[in-house]
Amino acid sequence: MRLQLTDFWVILTYLIFVILIGFLCRKVSGKNKEEYFLAGRKIPWWLAGISIVATTFAADTPLAICGIIARKGLSGNWLWFPWMGIHAAVIAFFAAAWRKTNVLTDAQFISIRYSGKRKEALRLLRAGVSGILLNCIILAWVFRAMLKVSDIFFSWEKWFPNLFEFVRKVWPANGNFGSPSEAITLFLIVLIIAIYSSMGGIRGVIITDFFQFILTFVGGVWLAINAWNYVGGQDGLSQSLERIYGKGHHFLELFPSPTGWISTLEIGSLLFAVYLLIQSISAIDSDGGGYMMQRLATTKNAKDAKKASLLFFMFHYLIRIWPWFIVGLVAIIIFPTGQVSGTYEGVEIFLKDRESAYPVLMTLLLPSGVLGLVLASLLAAFMSTVDTHINWGASYIVNDWLLKIFPGVSNKVQIRVARMAVVVFLLVSLIISFHIGSIEKGWRAVATIGAAFGIPTVLRWFWWRLNADAEFLAIAAGILAGSFFAFFTDISYEFRLILTAFSSFLGVLIGVYWGEPTTANTLNDFILKVNPIGFWPDRSLKQSFKELSIKLLQWFLICSGLILLLVAFHKFIFIGGVLFSILLFVSGGSLVYLAISGVAKLNKLWVSHPTHSNSR
């Protein structure tokens, strides 16, 4: 089904709406960098939390999950589920601490945590890798996902043949740069994003994120309901999978089985468990930095930052994933794996790749009007991610580069540079996007780089002995090892990630032993500002272990509760058994509640707050 006039009106209404929000926020956001990048630190916790949820749902997400399910079934999502370890740690350890630092970017954290001549170089490195390199790669695969959607829905050669012909003449003939039709679609969408995000700053981004989340969630649920009804519900889904793939298929299993896709990996079960642990911290923002830290910094206080992180955690892992899972499973029924086409109501439909199954099902299962709504939801998902990343990336350019090189520039110049950086980020990411063939490959590239950063990023919050040299050496060792294993060996991605993280850890140990220690004054200032958990000079070893034990218990209960809730929803939706599902749901919910409220009370009774003293 092609887009009808009703669909166009739905999409146009949404696009006008987001531009209007950016226009209305332009004056207050243009006052200074605090307003432009942090909205004056006045955002309500629930709005900040929903904004993080919206940002982490890009147009690439349901497409990539369709591809994962086709290759590995539901259990294949354990390639990204381990990130729940990071996000649970943000709730338990990092959310409140980030808000207490009062920094504008996570790179600025380097300046208050370390001392010595190399700390500013490390800050510039962090800002460059996180704010520019990884940011552009992430945006590129988001653009790639949008290309896959636009290729199906937008036919500019039919709608505006003269425009299409002009673009075709000037557009590179190289296949890497996509078709002229894809170029027109991306250019128009990116132009709209550049207009409203550059005008409204983070305030405009967060407000549009709220409405974008509502639209994306409603659109995803609507498509999932239609797909669910098409295959005949729970029984029809199970019977269709069994008919096509046999009784021994693994597509409905939530956890990887020894005889499933995990058996094809080049690592055993024990190393796979290690891989899950490494994957959970294989990110440059494994402490909740990056765009998440930016959202937490917009809240009013540390307590609100923690609430925002909890809201994001529950929505991200428990609420919005099930519509994607349903559509991904229906896709392998209509388009069986191993085939390039499928049959829908007697008509043969061809797939470009497995990730394209999601937008194709939209055209098959949704009526006019609803199709426009769901397509607008994908546009909203795309735009909510892009506007966040370009605003976040611009914050590094202004706060960590411009003001370090030209510390006296005015607020007016800062905002002007920020808005110019937004446009540059978009253009560079567009160019990179035409060279990324698979969304999942983009995910893995970012995870490999993140494995070099993850361990020092986490340890610096818990151990006073970590210094700027140790973080430098860890990053260098991890990146060199990851590059070597990626380009000169044939080992699997999972094993490569483990070796990269191990090399980074060796770099930490070498830097701690030979590097320049952080000064006592810097450590005291950091402790007074943040009151971090862990091993610090102002407290005894016994006190440190008590604090860590309480927080680790909270982290464990949050993760365990979430997993029980995942099992409950999975059983209720795909397997059956209402009573057992309810029991699991109550058990999981109780663990999460105990982690948030019960452990907090235990912390007050068991752990007395340390008295700050001079570092020794």
Contact between 526 and 115 under an 8 Å Cβ cutoff? The reply is: no
Strand partners, 411: none
Question: Does the pLDDT value for residue 264 go beyond 80?
Answer: no
Q: What is the pLDDT of residue 269?
A: 55
Q: What is the pLDDT of residue 463?
A: 95
Neighbours of 415 (CB within 10 A): 22
HSE-CB of 429 using CA atoms within 13 angstroms: 33
**586-592 contact pairs (CB < 8 A, 24+):** 587/561, 588/560, 588/561, 588/562, 588/563, 588/564, 589/561, 589/565, 590/561, 591/557, 591/558, 591/560, 591/561, 591/564, 592/314, 592/557, 592/558, 592/561, 592/562, 592/565
Question: Model pTM?
Answer: 0.86
Q: Give the SS3 label for residue 106.
A: coil
Q: What is the pLDDT of residue 565?
A: 96
Question: Does the pLDDT value for residue 616 go beyond 50?
Answer: no
- pLDDT tens track for 400-435: 989 888 888 888 898 888 888 878 877 787 777 766
Question: Does the pLDDT value for residue 492 go beyond 90?
Answer: no
What is the percent of the chain where pLDDT is above 90?
A: 37
Question: Does the pLDDT value for residue 263 go beyond 60?
Answer: no
- pLDDT tens track for 277-325: 666 666 678 898 888 999 999 999 999 999 999 999 999 999 999 999 9
309: buried, middle or exposed (CB in 10 Å: 19+, 13-18, 0-12)? Answer: buried
Lowest mean pLDDT among 104-113, 147-156, 267-276, 498-507: 267-276
What's the whole-number average pLDDT of the chain? 84
Contacts of 319 (CB under 8 A, 6+ apart): 217
Question: Does the pLDDT value for residue 614 go beyond 90?
Answer: no
- pLDDT tens track for 209-226: 898 888 888 888 999 999
What is the percent of the chain where pLDDT is above 70?
A: 87
Taken in order 251, 256, 261, 263, the sign of the CA dihedral is negative
Q: What is the pLDDT of residue 92?
A: 92
The pLDDT-based confidence of 601 (bands split at 50, 70, 90) is low
Encoding tokens for residue 589? 């919910």
Q: Give the SS3 label for residue 341.
A: strand
Distances (CA, A) of 60 to 11, 139, 326, 382, 383: 19, 10, 17, 8, 11
The pLDDT-based confidence of 574 (bands split at 50, 70, 90) is very high
DSSP 218-248: HHHHHHHHHHHHHHTHHHHHHHHHHHHH-TT
How many angstroms separate the CA atoms of 437 and 430, rounded? 13
H or E segment and range at residue 487 = helix 468-488
Q: What is the pLDDT of residue 117?
A: 82
| Higher-confidence position of 461 and 259 | 461
Question: Does the pLDDT value for residue 615 go beyond 50?
Answer: no
H or E segment and range at residue 343 = strand 341-344
Mean pLDDT of 562-573: 95
- Ordered by where they begin, the domains of the chain are 5-532 (1.20.1730.10), 554-616 (no CATH)
Mean pLDDT of 506-532: 94
Encoding tokens for residue 394? 């611009």
Question: Does the pLDDT value for residue 50 go beyond 90?
Answer: yes
Encoding tokens for residue 325? 């899972």
- pLDDT tens track for 54-84: 888 777 788 889 989 998 899 989 878 888 8
How many angstroms separate the CA atoms of 226 and 567, rounded? 24
Q: Give the SS3 label for residue 155.
A: coil
Q: What is the pLDDT of residue 219?
A: 87
The pLDDT-based confidence of 474 (bands split at 50, 70, 90) is very high
Mean pLDDT of 317-339: 92
Question: Does the pLDDT value for residue 611 go beyond 50?
Answer: no
Contact between 39 and 404 under an 8 Å Cβ cutoff? The reply is: no
